[in-house]
Structure 1
Amino acid sequence: MRIIFIGLVAIILTSCKIVQNKTNFHKNVVVAHRGAWKTLGLPQNSIASLKQAIKLGYRGSEFDVRMTSDDSLVIHHDPDFNNLEIEKTTFAELRKFKLSNGEELPTLHEYLSAGLANNSGTMLVCEIKPYDGGAERADKVATKVVQTVKDLNAQKLVGYISFDYNILKKVHQLDPKATTQYLEANKTPEEVAADGLTGVDYYFTAFQKNKDWISMAKKKGITLNAWTVNNPEDMDWLLKDGFDFITTNEPELLLSKEKALKK
């Protein structure tokens, strides 16, 4: 009886721990593209734009990850920074130059650390950029990104997106519970679900051309995201079709539209 009792207590404590660690994301569809930067004139992909997205309570804040020549992970969208190609430049060389608001070019570790602070429900949507250096280097990037997330115990707050299908499959292999959304609209939601990925995140016109993909994704139980949606009419269309996420440079507008629709 004593052994059974101890076992039951252990099960109860484990269950409580799972509930406590579960992230409840904000109940809206808004993913701020490269953070909430536009209204305040902040640099895209800056820690300031990330903090603004968290402050405003968006469901997600998207950012881009690239790797330097000496294998440092930095946050930047374009392949070059201050006219230096990131993949062929050392971190020390890149770090000599600052963002327009005076911030240093953030590392992934710094960016995630900032995103974990005072965050009550904004997903950190991590786009791992494709690499020209071949499959081996892309695999290395994915591995280093996932390990950084694990080192910070940020798994429940981070989601992954990429145009590189193999990168997402590698992420899924390393962390089977990870949120993974594919960006290139060359696979059906059924194919994506079959490979264990958790969602599709396509340019919004792909869903207009393939309307059955919306019902297919819902049937397969994977999430629907669309990028980058800035036009009010396109927002209305996606909101009415029940998308889980909508990625936009106009997060304030999208949130106001969603609130009006729910009234």
Structure 2
Amino acid sequence: MKHFVLGILILGASLSTASAQKNPIIAHRGAWKNTELPQNSIASLNAAISEGVFGSEFDIHLTKDDILVVNHDNDFYGIDIATATYQELLAKKHPNGESIPTAEDFLKEGLKQKKTKLIYELKTNRLGLERTLLAAQKSVELVKKLKGEKMIEYIAFDYDACKKIVELNPKAKVHYLTGNKSPQELKADKMAGADYHFSVYKKNPTWIAELQKLKLKVNAWTVNEEAEMKNLLDQKVDYITTDNPELLAELLKVKK
């Protein structure tokens, strides 16, 4: 907990110092590494919001009974999400006592504030494309129901799911994760930008500039080392997704 409080103080001071420049920090699965909170928990979401980052990323799965839930892996402490009901998932808890959050409860918590964006990663359903597209449909419906369109941005590895979200809400900001589409393809399919692993940009060294020229956003995941952060900041990417938001904030302060 001492590390958590210190991390918030450091990050807050750094972002305040860097207030004249854009805040590119997206906390990967919330703020968990230095807070010792469970990833993708409501507690880690609130910690990320407290740290003042641009966005907090989280992962969404669809249960057997069509409930959207927040968790990274396909299983929740050994219970397979795709083939389990939500009630069955309640048999397990996070180490901090939280049950697996529904997407609705998670978003309601995040939408209590208007500063940190909610970066909604729709996971590919292991039972097939039909279930993934159903999850995409239910996600758009949920965000509309909660009036969260301005605060929520979507990311996904499944390109058909990305296109489905755009089809259902042409104003939605959708970013593709896999890294196998060129900037021109993303533009043609009305994506908001690329959210690629930093190694993809190294293999395709012109893509960042091409994305910027096309007025598409550039995000890189999951960047935890100082050298990689500096390289991306030098190229003026829009966002960096990281497990180390405090380190990135310190680098931003130095660059100012």
Please list, as runs of the form range in 1=range in 2, the aligned pairs for 1:26-45 lying within 5 A after superposition: 27-45=22-40
Equivalent position to 1:136, from 130, 139, 146: 130
Which AA in structure 2 matches 1:54? I
Compute the displacement of 1:217 (Å): 0.1
Q: Where does structure 1 differ by over 6 angstroms across 4 or more consecutive aligned residues?
A: none
Residue 172 of structure 1 aligns to a residue in which SS? helix
Query: Aligned residue for 1:239?
Result: 233
Paired with 2:120 and 2:90, the residues of 1 have a C-alpha distance of 21
Equivalent position to 1:196, from 190, 193, 214: 190
Distance of aligned partners of 1:166 and 1:80 in 2 relative to their CA distance in 1, 3 Å threshold = same
Paired with 1:27 and 1:94, the residues of 2 have a C-alpha distance of 39
Which AA in structure 2 matches 1:165? Y
Which AA in structure 1 matches 2:238? D
Query: Aligned residue for 1:147?
Result: 141
Residue 98 of structure 2 aligns to a residue in which SS? coil
Query: Aligned residue for 1:10?
Result: none
Please list, as runs of the form range in 1=range in 2, the aligned pairs for 1:7-156 lying within 5 A after superposition: 27-117=22-112, 119-156=113-150
Equivalent position to 2:242, from 224, 228, 248: 248
- When the two structures are superposed, what TM-score results if normalisation uses the length of structure 2? 0.90
Equivalent position to 2:165, from 157, 165, 171: 171
- When the two structures are superposed, what TM-score results if normalisation uses the length of structure 1? 0.88
Which AA in structure 1 matches 2:100? L
Query: Aligned residue for 1:212?
Result: 206
| Cα pair 2:56 2:116 within 8 Å, conserved | yes
Compute the displacement of 1:40 (Å): 1.3
Compute the displacement of 1:259 (Å): 2.1
Provide, for residues 93-150 of structure 1, a one-character-per-residue CA deviation record: whole Å limited to 9, x for no partner: 1012111111111000000001011x23211000000123222221111000111111
Paired with 2:78 and 2:114, the residues of 1 have a C-alpha distance of 37
Paired with 1:37 and 1:164, the residues of 2 have a C-alpha distance of 26
Paired with 2:39 and 2:194, the residues of 1 have a C-alpha distance of 23
Compute the displacement of 1:69 (Å): 0.6
Identity of aligned residues (%): 46
Larger Rg: 1
Paired with 1:97 and 1:84, the residues of 2 have a C-alpha distance of 8
Query: Aligned residue for 2:18?
Result: none
Paired with 1:28 and 1:172, the residues of 2 have a C-alpha distance of 26
Provide, for residues 50-77 of structure 1, a one-character-per-residue CA deviation record: whole Å limited to 9, x for no partner: 0111111100100000011111110000
Compute the displacement of 1:191 (Å): 0.6
Paired with 2:128 and 2:88, the residues of 1 have a C-alpha distance of 24
Paired with 1:120 and 1:174, the residues of 2 have a C-alpha distance of 24
